[in-house]
Copies of this chain bind each other. A is one copy, B any other.
Amino acid sequence: MTVGLTTAQLIEKHRPTLDKALDAIRTRAYWSPHPEHPKAYGEGDSLGAHEGQAAFDALRGTRIDLDQPGTDGWTGGEVSPFGIELGVEYPHVDVDVLLPAMQSGIAAWRDAGPEARAAVCLEILARISARTHEFAHAVMHTSGQAFMMAFQAGGPHAQDRGMEAVAYAYTEQTRTPADAEWVKPQGKRDPLQLRKGFTAVPRGVSLLIGCNTFPTWNGYPGLFASLATGNPVLVKPHPRAVLPLALTVQVARGVLGEAGFDPNLVALAAERPEEGIAKTLATRPEVRIIDYTGSTTFGDWLEANARQAQVYTEKAGVNTVVIDSTDDYKGMLSNLAFSLSLYSGQMCTTPQNLLIPRDGITTDAGRKTYDEVVADLAAAVDGLLGDDVRANALLGAIVNPQVGARIDKAGELGEVALASRAVTHPDFPGATVRTPVIVKQDGARKQWDTPDADAAYLTECFGPVSFAVAVDSADDAVALLRRTVRDKGAMTVGAYTTSPEVEKLVEEACLEECAQLSLNLTGGVYVNQTAAFSDFHGSGGNPAANSALCDGAFVANRFRTVEVRRQA
């Protein structure tokens, strides 16, 4: 890692990929430079399955020294949701030393310009991509995701989201040219003439507050958007999901250094147990941008208190699926069963409330009563997860005891239509892997259409707990959907209907309440999955998140343009 790289070399290497990414965000067609299949890795620099496993194993019980200024001790202690201790130690930092050190490289990074920054970011992503197998284990053993999901969501999909942010950042910074000649006619007199230069300048240190469930997928957009717009990035991982982001920081520091920039432009702030360093960091005057994924409580705190910073939050929401009618009953059931099961319902995009008319729905398999729909869905989940091998491939380990407690107490909320069961993991006997619960609920208007309504389904119940809510009509379903999105937010909304009128009602509700809608998904695309370069993750327009991944608004406030004009 001592061979120097010029930015010109990096631009030459990565410009074609950047151009494809720029094209993808304009067309929104399918595109990804990062293979999804584990077998696609292993050639050249890229680690294959065994090498990735070995690299991860070699990390266990070690100390990851990032050679950061202000290191004043060591911290660690992650225990995998699958039951193994990682035993990795990370530097603990004195932020009074680290933050000034992070600022000292800003001017050179700014002067490098948007294209060089994009190329450096793409080199970081390329090196991470080559270690996807290693990262997959790191994500699996911090988030509790099953291996294949950790591989895909934590690897290529996260790398896609990072590259998408780089593409948006590049576009936004280059909307204004670097130079302009300005000649204003003055009738018979000489024209007024100015030479103008425009420079994208960073805001200051950007703080990434990582989450437990998707450390890379939710972390990369903010990290790369800020770095590509010239800001140093301080990464504060969730204490139970440090490793994937520590490795990311390590790679970033290596590339920055090789390319002649200050490695301290990216740094890690791991915390000691119960230290709660996020509040301290978030209100430091040097910190001007914050990206956060996590609880509504802390997200709201950040928005209210970190007033010196631009704050981007993804918080909690209550995701709804309206089930009105379908021409593919079996496809609908299997699609929903998969959505409820994936990662044991621990996605911010997992459907929570399934709104089903009390008097049933019309389907290609005949009229189905509310009870039949719920029973058939429960059976579909059972069928999907009946085999323990497949169950373990789809589900995930429960990420924390609070989620486990919610599963155990779900029966107190109503009649259980599908009970959760524990699945034994053959490789990790210490893992707590659970199947989803479905609880029946009364969706009569009086249950939810008052300001003090306290129906269980009106608040987020994070984890594999879903509510089959019996509503009185499609109109009521849409009204409850509106109320839920407006008051609680939603990362996703789904709907199944063969009625153009109901489809129109749901669509209008989503446009007005600003929620992303998936209609009649019955195949291999699921409401809880979004594809970078094409789908928006969240809308930024309802309480679940104040920004979307990824659009112009996500990058535009991460830099400013300074103009210097001179008499020509």
Contact = CB atoms under 8 A, between A and B. Distances in A.
A29 B182 contact: yes
A43 to B, nearest CB: 18
A307 interface: yes
Interface string A294-335: 000000000110010000000000000000000000000000
Contact of A557 (B106, B520, B553): B553
Interface in A92-122: 106-107, 110
Contact of A552 (B172, B183, B304, B521): B172
A67 B411 CA distance: 58
A562 interface: yes
Q: Which of A25, A561, A562 has the most CB of B within 10 A?
A: A562
Given A175-B552, A541-B201, A196 B534 contact: yes
A30 interface: yes
A540 interface: yes
A307 B25 CA distance: 31
A30 B181 CA distance: 8
Contacts of A201: 511-512, 514, 541
A277 interface: no
B564 A510 contact: yes
Nearest to A195: B519
Q: Which of A508, A556, A563 has the most CB of B within 10 A?
A: A563
A33 to B, nearest CB: 14
A514 B196 contact: no
A566 B30 contact: no
Contact of A539 (B110, B183, B519, B561): B561
B566 A182 contact: no
A171 B541 CA distance: 20
A203 B209 CA distance: 27
A534 B107 contact: no
B27 A180 contact: yes
Contacts of A88: none
B198 A562 contact: no
A517 B565 contact: yes
A519 B27 contact: no
Contacts of A185: 30
Interface in A521-543: 521-525, 531, 534-536, 539-541
Contacts of A561: 536, 539, 548, 551
A520 B567 CA distance: 6
Contacts of A517: 562-565
A112 to B, nearest CB: 13
A60 interface: no
Nearest to A189: B524
A28 B198 contact: yes
A280 interface: no
A8 to B, nearest CB: 23
B562 A182 contact: no
A199 interface: yes
Contacts of A198: 28
A558 to B, nearest CB: 9
Contact of A541 (B182, B203, B540): B203
Given A519-B567, A523-B192, A539-B562, A176 B551 contact: yes
A560 B541 CA distance: 6
A126 interface: no
A278 B517 CA distance: 36
A515 B565 CA distance: 12
Contacts of A518: 565-566
Contact of A194 (B507, B525, B551, B553): B525
Contacts of A565: 517-519, 525, 535
A426 interface: no
A186 interface: yes
A521 B515 CA distance: 50
B307 A304 contact: yes
A446 interface: no
A516 interface: yes
Given A182-B29, A182-B534, A522 B567 contact: yes
Closest 10 CB pairs of A and B: A28-B180, A541-B560, A553-B556, A556-B556, A552-B556, A519-B566, A30-B184, A517-B564, A553-B557, A539-B560
27 contacts: A27-B177, A28-B177, A28-B196, A29-B181, A29-B183, A194-B525, A196-B534, A196-B535, A201-B511, A201-B514, A203-B541, A303-B307, A517-B565, A518-B565, A519-B566, A520-B567, A523-B567, A539-B562, A541-B562, A548-B560, A548-B561, A551-B556, A552-B552, A552-B556, A553-B560, A556-B556, A557-B557
